[in-house]
Amino acid sequence: QVQLVESGGGLVQAGGSLRLSCTDSGRTFSDYAMGWFRQAPGKEREFVAGINWRGDSKKYVDSVKGRFTISRDNVKNTVYLQMSRLEPEDTARYYCAAALSMSTIMQQISWGPGTQVTVSS
């Protein structure tokens, strides 16, 4: 059972930073690869970052490489997305999701309700 809830979104000026958190209230968090996705109005939901169960393998969409860092704490059942040098183009609702592995990160089995990130110019 995976029950995900995101937090940490908000309004920030361009160039600023935010750290998103996603906590699993279930009991099988460490069994899953985790990913962050985002969706802006008028756009499809897109993959942002993923991390395997151990936390030693990560992947990012090109547009956030060097700016965003995904990490996880399996003791706290939490995955993080540290976002720096935010740009207005990063404005979106951010969702975390669980997958069976990094190989199937695009085949999510559970989603959180999302948290809004708005970046002003």
Q: How far apart are the first and last CA of the chain?
A: 40
pLDDT in tens, 42-100: 999 999 999 999 999 999 999 999 999 999 999 999 999 999 999 999 999 999 999 99
> Among all chains, which residue has been given the structure tokens 């956030």?
64
pLDDT of residue 95: 98
121, 88 contact by CB (below 8 A): yes
30, 54 contact by CB (below 8 A): no
pLDDT at 2 over 90: no
Q: What is the mean pLDDT of the chain?
A: 95
